[in-house]
Structure 1
């Protein structure tokens, strides 16, 4: 019997709130709980406050998690719901990613009234993206495109395309699907050309390592397949020293007892790419990720990453 509200911490964007509500719904179904036994606590993060410049200039990924993690550590919230691709590879002492929900489509979506795919855009077209990875991949494919920094929530980015502020944009297909905005998608992009960000499409739940009550509550909604995929991808990113400053991509897929992985690192101007592929038993996901990251880092060399 619950004696107090289960407090779920989240950012305040429409997508973040949808992910928190999905977590709440899964917990309600798993434990026969009512909605009034939960409280969704909105926490504004540094990443939400900074809208006028690329996040890479001011600290990268942790900007979307720091304040939420502080609330988790001081007991203001019981659980934190995040987009996995926002999570740093090293977490604060006392916290862990304990749960992954089933992963949505990890691919990027292309939105444009002027072309069916980036390859078909008019010469010199303007494409908006805040992601260094997507910017690098676009420049690799089409060096003639003008790629501009483009932030804001999904509704804002979609509106800017429809108003002609930019000719096109790329967004995570998962986020558009979760917000029922996928009618705006022109096409979904092949991962051979637009390999997604590590963790894209996956919701993760962070909790305190010693909070037995919450860990027991979360156990029934944990997706082991998503956990294996993200364990590999995050191990890869850890070895690559990945941050918002480096265009790094990676995606794993599970087929039976086998896990397959593709990873790449790209020059920000798209002029050079190094790729790696690995596969092995699902049980070895973490080791495969670490080995893939070390191997790709060695192939690319320190000058590539530092530049």
Structure 2
């Protein structure tokens, strides 16, 4: 075991949800990330909507005591979970309660006991599915002839996270396509003449791209020296990309030290601004 792992403090973290658990998992990860040198051993329980399922959860908590975080709307199940956690002397946190209380007080209405209501099969849900289908069909320069239907088109050299960023955007209901810039291959007119979608140019530092590309080749068990991992060639690619973006006035995002989520958030901000009415 590495020194990094042995120096970390491990603890059990029980995540209990009556829905898919996505919201709870995201909150837990965001919170734990603020504490260095700790590592949670996660126990994830989704779709806990009845006594039998909760009994299984409680047995696991008793066997591996630790922090309990939950999102459940059933008052009966909540009370049973909180009561048992007090008996076991483990912390039990209802992560959405403060938000729900403020919303209820402000709106002057009571919440409904409806698990997973954010996953209702409504128009927004089907819009996300439509966006995902579009994004998959327009990944890596495919189907250029109907790119005007996209909301956002990402352009960038190899390994600037175009595909995962597009998939993240699609999960937010955004039709996102991407086109890879390849040395000595002209950018097609379908890209250069786009008028409806927001086109965003992605770049990264040559040194960062070199590191990522080398890791990519290693994962493919390729060890031949090529221009793909030549630093001077990569610098030339980045310079050419910057010139292309400047010529068209496309906004640029440097992804060198950004996560996919941070890149997507910046792109969505640009998209919102591009759709705002001129003052």
Fold shared per TM-score above 0.5: no
| Between structures 1 and 2, the one with greater helix share | 2
Structure with larger Rg: 2
| Between structures 1 and 2, the one with greater strand share | 1
Structure with bigger RCO (C-alpha 8 Å, 6+ apart): 1
TM-score by length of 2: 0.25
